[in-house]
Chain A
Amino acid sequence: MKNTLRVERAIHALTQEDLANRIAVSRQTIHAIEAGKYVPSTVLALKIARLFGKPVESIFMLEDGD
């Protein structure tokens, strides 16, 4: 699964730490998601989407092989 988390974060001028604090997760979690090493739960994906005011599909998208 791909995601545009890093881009969204840049648009809103948030550091990984800021974003982590806003949605009550660890900074490591944000890093792992951005690095494509961790696929967040549906709950976490929805929380991220709500924070950026976008549908989940515009931030997280399937890739070939998923």
Chain B
Amino acid sequence: MNTNLLLPHRFKVIGWWILIPAFGLGVLHSITEFEAEWLHARVFAFWSDNLFAQGHFFQRYETNITATIIGVVLVLGGLLVGFSREKVEDEYIANLRLTSLMWAVWVNYLLLLVALLFIWGLPFLTVMVYNMFTVLVIFIVRFNILLHRQPREIA
């Protein structure tokens, strides 16, 4: 694996501090769908629509950005945790990283196939929202479990 694509190790710690709260907020948001009043904003959109017309390009758009902020922070935290070097980033760790990533893609798309076939209507939209984060989350969980599973040392 090209280790040039990895960030320095210290970003992993920073990543955990971002990812864990963001994950908590994400779960909370998906349950309660809360929106912070002060996060109402006029944003710039490449592509947007509204109630009266659709298909606007490169225009201002007025909306609440609570979910957006949570999503952005979740992705950034996930990238930092998933793609920072370990303290000793050697060939075996790189191998573990790559196989975990492949495992995550497999699991993610198998789950998506099941969802495509058996989840219909509005709930499918919910699945798509989760699906934005599942590859990254599954990868991080898999990699860190394999990495930190304490091997018994028989002297």
When the two chains form their complex, are residues A16 and B153 in contact, meaning their CB atoms are under 8 A apart? yes
Q: Which residues from chain A contact B86 at a C-beta distance below 8 Å? A: 26
Contact of A29 among B87, B91, B154, B155 (CB under 8 A): B91
Fill in one digit per residue for A19-32: 1 if any B CB lies within 8 Å of its CB, else 0: 01000111011011
Number of inter-chain CB pairs below 8 Å: 39
Chain A interface main SS type: helix
Count the A residues whose beta carbon is within 8 Å of the partner chain — how many? 18
When the two chains form their complex, are residues A20 and B153 in contact, meaning their CB atoms are under 8 A apart? no
Q: Is B114 an interface residue (CB 8 A)?
A: no
Return B19 CB to nearest CB of chain A, in Å: 22
When the two chains form their complex, are residues A28 and B91 in contact, meaning their CB atoms are under 8 A apart? no
When the two chains form their complex, are residues A28 and B147 in contact, meaning their CB atoms are under 8 A apart? yes
- Say whether, besides A20-B88, A24-B88, A29 and B153 are in contact (CB < 8 Å): no
Interface size, B (range): 10 to 19
When the two chains form their complex, are residues A10 and B155 in contact, meaning their CB atoms are under 8 A apart? yes
Interchain CA distance A33-B155 in the complex, whole Å: 15
Return A28 CB to nearest CB of chain B, in Å: 6
When C-beta atoms are compared, the residue in chain B nearest to A23 turns out to be B90
Chain B interface main SS type: loop
When C-beta atoms are compared, the residue in chain A nearest to B149 turns out to be A28
When the two chains form their complex, are residues A25 and B90 in contact, meaning their CB atoms are under 8 A apart? yes
- Say whether, besides A26-B93, A28-B93, A29-B93, A35 and B88 are in contact (CB < 8 Å): no
Interchain CA distance A16-B154 in the complex, whole Å: 10
When the two chains form their complex, are residues A41 and B93 in contact, meaning their CB atoms are under 8 A apart? no
When the two chains form their complex, are residues A26 and B88 in contact, meaning their CB atoms are under 8 A apart? yes
Give 14 new A-B contacts, CB below 8 A, not counting A25-B90, A26-B87, A28-B96: A10-B155, A16-B153, A24-B90, A26-B90, A26-B93, A28-B147, A29-B90, A29-B91, A29-B92, A31-B151, A38-B92, A40-B91, A44-B90, A44-B91
